[in-house]
Amino acid sequence: MDIPYTVKNRPDTGLYNGKLGVWLFLASEVMLFGGLFSAYIFLRTGVDDWPAGTEYLDVPLATLNTLFLISSSVTMVMSWASLKLNDFKKYKLYTLITLLFAFGFLVIKYFEYSAKFAHNPPYLPSTNNFLGIYFTMTGLHVLHIIGGILVIGYFYGPGSKMWNSDPERFTNRIEIVGLYWHFVDLVWIFLFPVLYLL
């Protein structure tokens, strides 16, 4: 006996299990980052002088990174749409591009971080609370990116075999991964102005 609604929607909710599951997971993620945003606002309001992000951070690089993430988001949703259109080749292509953008994001982040550490005097999390919260929030976000890359990479490589055995289920999986990936993008959309521009 198999667990029902792993692939097909349950009629009364109109959802399959995985999708509901990932939305609930994202709800908890909202609260996780919510805790950090709350801390950010609390700390910032509580002190008299809070440095402007531009004092420490590199806006052009971050803008580029924002564009990278947005692009990876659109290619992600395209790869899902390609599966819907039964075009596995396009799926592969779009997923590859998604991965490349994600890697690009990491590379730029790497340069940003190392520039901070290399600065004289070094900009460290302990330097002040602005940098502290910057490193914490972006660090956690980067962990989410890495997690996403691993999963997307799996479905690009070994995981994509499922397309032959159970295409519908595979498409669902890509949809789920996509939801997660868009959420990571969404978090960045808020992190970017909050940390860099305000």
Q: Which of residues 131-190 bind another protein (CB under 8 A)?
A: 132-133, 135-136, 140, 168, 171-172, 175, 178-179, 182-183, 185-186, 189-190
Name residue 15's beta-bridge partners. 10
Report in angstroms how near the CB of residue 177 gets to another protein at its nearest. 12
Q: How far is the CB of 45 from another protein (least distance, A)?
A: 6
Closest C-alpha among 5, 24, 25, 23 to residue 14: 5
Residues whose CB falls within 8 Å of the CB of residue 188, separated by 6 or more in sequence, listed in order: 65, 66, 69, 141
Binding mask 59-88 for another protein (x = CB under 8 A): x---x--xx--xx-xx-xxx--x--xx---
10 secondary structure, DSSP code: B
The verdict on 100 binding another protein (CB under 8 A) reads: no
User: Is residue 95 within 8 Å of 152, Cβ to Cβ?
Assistant: yes
C-alpha atoms less than 13 angstroms from C-alpha of 120 in its C-beta half-sphere: 0
Nearer to another protein, 157 or 193 (CB): 193
Contact status, residue 80 vs residue 171, Cβ threshold 8 Å: yes
Report yes or no: 191 and 53 within 8 Å, Cβ to Cβ. no
Where does this chain touch another protein (CB under 8 A) — which range of 12-20, 98-106, 108-116, 152-160? 12-20
Touching another protein, residues 25-64 (CB under 8 A)? 25, 27-39, 41-43, 45-47, 54, 59, 63
Could you tell me the smallest distance in angstroms from the CB atom of residue 93 to another protein? Answer: 14
Give whichever of 115 and 182 is closer to another protein, judged by the CB atom. 182
